[in-house]
Amino acid sequence: MTMKLYCFGESGNSYKAALALELAGLDWQPVFVDFFNGETRSPEYRANVNDMGEAPVLVDGDFRTGQSGAIQAYVTEKSGRFGGRDRAENYDIFRWVLWDNHKLSSMAGMTRFLMNFLPGDKRPAEVIAFNQGRLKSAYQVLNRRLEGRDWIVGDQITNADLSCCGYLYYPEPFGFERKDFPHIDAWLDRIAALPGWKHPYDLMPGSPAERA
């Protein structure tokens, strides 16, 4: 049975889930969520798709879950891919997924939204500057972790990598310059060289160009 991923191209959290599904070689299809026209806030979406009013959401027969980290864990259970080689690695992966959700993706997603998807006169400069300061610290943590390493945990790509890379391929400016973080830059190239990798706007429906 083909799995369905409710998602949209601009969403880095959706990309984490979609990329895991694609790289694992699972049978899935995207279902476009019209976030920018308020679909996730509608009573119908909350009643029928996700009571939290968020994307992504994965549906596999009778199984349904939201949150990218939960979807990635399900992909690992389903495919055997992207987990650790032992208990210690699995907990280290979990640690990095939680770090990403709190320190990296949360700030990157919000900052990117404020800088690119709000009208110019409604962009809060002080909030953006504060977020970018926090993001710089997160980039430095990740860059140091990747020094001398191919992957964040262990010797193969895991959900730690798939989580932390989620927002870093997007072209819209939000204060991240790959050249400033060479170990992150090389790591992103390694992920993009994997068979099946696709840019978020090629992997999922929805992009700023389509809304222009």
**CATH number assigned to the domain comprising residue 126:** 1.20.1050.10
Residue 92, token pair as written in the block? 């280290």
Confidence at residue 119, expressed as pLDDT on a 0 to 100 scale: 92
End-to-end CA distance of the chain: 35
Q: Do residues 119 and 168 share a domain?
A: yes
pLDDT over 90 at 1, yes or no: no
pLDDT in tens, 16-33: 999 999 999 999 999 999
pLDDT band (50, 70, 90) for residue 46 = very high
91 and 187 fall within a common domain: yes
CA 173, chain centre distance (Å): 16
Alpha-carbon gap, residue 147 to 121, rounded angstroms: 40
Element (H, E) at 3: strand 3-7
Structure tokens at 189: 């190239």
Phi, psi of 10 (to 5 degrees): -75, -10
Which residues, at least 6 apart from 188, have a Cβ–Cβ distance to it below 8 Å? Answer: 165, 168, 169, 178
| Mean of all residue pLDDT scores within the chain | 97
Side chain identity, residue 49: V
Domain assignment of residue 40, given as a range: 3-81+197-211
| Residue 170: closest CA among 41, 5, 52, 13 | 13
Total count of domains within the chain: 2
Provide the CATH number for the domain around residue 68: 3.40.30.10
For position 145, what pLDDT does the model report? Answer: 98
Specify the residue for token string 């798939």: 162
Residue 210 has pLDDT above 90, yes or no: no
For residue 57, list its beta bridge partners.
Answer: 6, 66
Digit-coded pLDDT (tens) for 62-88? 999 999 999 999 999 999 999 999 999
Based on the domain organization, do 61 and 121 belong to the same domain? no
- Judge if 63 and 130 occupy the same domain: no
% of the chain surpassing 70 pLDDT: 100
Residue 212 predicted with pLDDT over 80: no
What is the crossing angle of helices 12-24 and 68-79, to 10°? 0
Give the model's confidence band at 199: pLDDT under 50 very low, under 70 low, under 90 confident, else very high.
Answer: very high
How crowded is the C-beta side of 145, counted as CA atoms within 13 Å? 20
Neighbours of 94 (CB within 10 A): 16
Identify whether residues 94 and 174 lie together within a single domain.
Answer: yes
- Let me know whether 132 and 179 are in one domain: yes
Residue 158 pLDDT greater than 80, yes or no: yes
pLDDT of residue 211: 81
